[in-house]
Amino acid sequence: LQAELDLFIDWFAPQLLGYAVDPALREHFAALSEVLISSALTQPQVVVHRDFHSRNLMCLNNGELAVIDFQDAVIGPITYDPVSLLKDCYVTWPRRRQVAWLTDYQRLLEERQLLLPLESAQFIAWFDLMGLQRHIKVLGIFARLALRDGKRAYLDDLPRVIAYVREVLALYAQREPALGAFGDYCDTVLLPLCIDQPWYRDPNTEESQA
């Protein structure tokens, strides 16, 4: 989990944004990482696909779904795959639909005795913080794919991922001081650098126009 998060510090901030990582960012990032990893390890651990999103689901002629690209499957947090799908890096769903689908999933898990009865708010918090960990990782991965591997099309999806990150940081800023501090730092220092990038756009504006 920490190695995944560190892609942000190694690739996104310094390599893509050209920002020299300073002690303040490292301090905020370390505190954020501690919260996110603790939340992930608190969850029930299950088989995790690790890349369970729309592009890895294929519709078969008989109406069933096939799942591809599962070679990196590991044991991990129970909300990792749901957040990969419901907060897809390539498709945006309204928050209310994400939560409704997640609630249905939680109920299904409990009915099948795969999850002990749990307050819905706790499961949603696990989901959101897991998504934050994943999307911070994705910022680093997409930056690396573009810069190291020449796959610059991934940059077009960064604004959506940034929006996911900012949403959760804002939602949990009061509950988790580390998230509030990291969010303030990102909005003040890193977001202006993102906005200056040729790949940046406001995903909220595009969605409202659509």
Q: For 113-169, how does the pLDDT look when each residue is reduced to its tens digit (9 = 90+)?
A: 999 999 999 999 999 999 999 999 999 999 999 999 999 999 999 999 999 999 999
Whole-angstrom CA distances from 113 to 73, 79, 85, 117, 124 are: 22, 16, 22, 9, 18
Amino acid, res. 87:
K
pLDDT exceeds cutoff 70 at 210: no
Considering Cα of 112, then 114, then 117, then 120, what sign does the dihedral take?
A: negative
pLDDT exceeds cutoff 50 at 208: no
- For 202-209, which contacts have Cβ atoms below 8 Å and span 24 or more sequence positions? 202/159, 203/92, 203/159, 203/160, 203/163, 204/163, 207/92
Give the closest residue to 145 by CA, choosing from 154, 137, 135. 154
pTM over 0.75: yes
